[in-house]
Amino acid sequence: MLIQRRELKFDIERIGTVSAILTQPGRARACYVLAHGAGADMRHSFMEKVAEGLASRGIATFRFNFPYMEKKQGRPDQPAVAHAAIRAAVEEAARLCPGLKLVAGGKSFGGRMTSQAQSKAALPDVKGLAFLGFPLHADKKPSSERAEHLAGIVIPMLFLQGTRDGLADLGHLKPVIERLGARATLHEIAGGDHSFAVLRKSGRSNDEALTEVLDVLAAWIDELA
């Protein structure tokens, strides 16, 4: 399968310019606007593996840096800035991939900022949100306050969560999913941590766990209207 990788920049109104990477297979069926986590940029190995893995499954990805990461600043952007970056990224992805089904979300912080943006005003043409480890609370401090905004989202949501994720205690996440009803789907990665890494004694590798993540994500995207 021919896969094109295009590096580019796009503007966020009144904020500045950031870098992005469009990874697009021939005859792509959809495009996933993929936001990075708080501590690593769009070129992190996890982001690379997700982009390449989805491309091999016929799904394009549009990765981008948040402004703080583009400027190599340590502290993540304020939510309003992150939301603006996500909206601009969605618009750019739609322009570059006309006619493709759009999905948005990302890793940890990036996924949560995407859901917040969607809860405030629907992201244009986005059919669903997919979270690669939703950060429900601070590390090992179980709470569900960070999920309150999800109630305002009406499009489908997929939560891919490791059962050892210290930032998403399943005892708190499952009731959140239940309250969201048919809009939300939870898929647990057995033994996975916040990045889906598994212990050796689990009998499988990190790559095998990530394959499960990508297979589930691709199938869910295909099922979206």
What is the full DSSP assignment across the chain? --EEEEEEEEEETTTEEEEEEEEEETT--EEEEEE--TTS-TTSHHHHHHHHHHHHTTEEEEEE--HHHHTT-SSPPPHHHHHHHHHHHHHHHHHHSTTSEEEEEEETHHHHHHHHHHHHSPPTTEEEEEEES---SSTT----GGGGGGGG--S-EEEEEETT-TTS-HHHHHHHHHHHGGGEEEEEETT--TT----GGGSS-HHHHHHHHHHHHHHHHHH--
Chain segment 93-124, per-residue pLDDT in tens: 999 999 999 999 999 999 999 999 999 999 99
Mean pLDDT, range 152-179, rounded to an integer:
97
Q: Is the pLDDT of residue 1 over 90?
A: no
Query: Sorting pLDDT into bands at 50, 70 and 90, what band is 91?
Result: very high
- At residue 109, the pLDDT reads 98
Q: Please state, for a pLDDT cut of 70, what percent of the chain lies above it.
A: 100
pTM above 0.85, yes or no: yes
- At residue 152, the pLDDT reads 96
Q: Is the pLDDT of residue 141 over 80?
A: yes
Q: Is the pLDDT of residue 140 over 90?
A: no
Mean pLDDT, range 44-58, rounded to an integer:
98
- CATH numbers and ranges of domains, the chain: 3-223 (3.40.50.1820)
- At residue 144, the pLDDT reads 94
Q: Is the pLDDT of residue 27 over 80?
A: yes
- At residue 180, the pLDDT reads 98
Mean pLDDT, range 40-67, rounded to an integer:
98
Q: What is the mean pLDDT of the chain?
A: 97
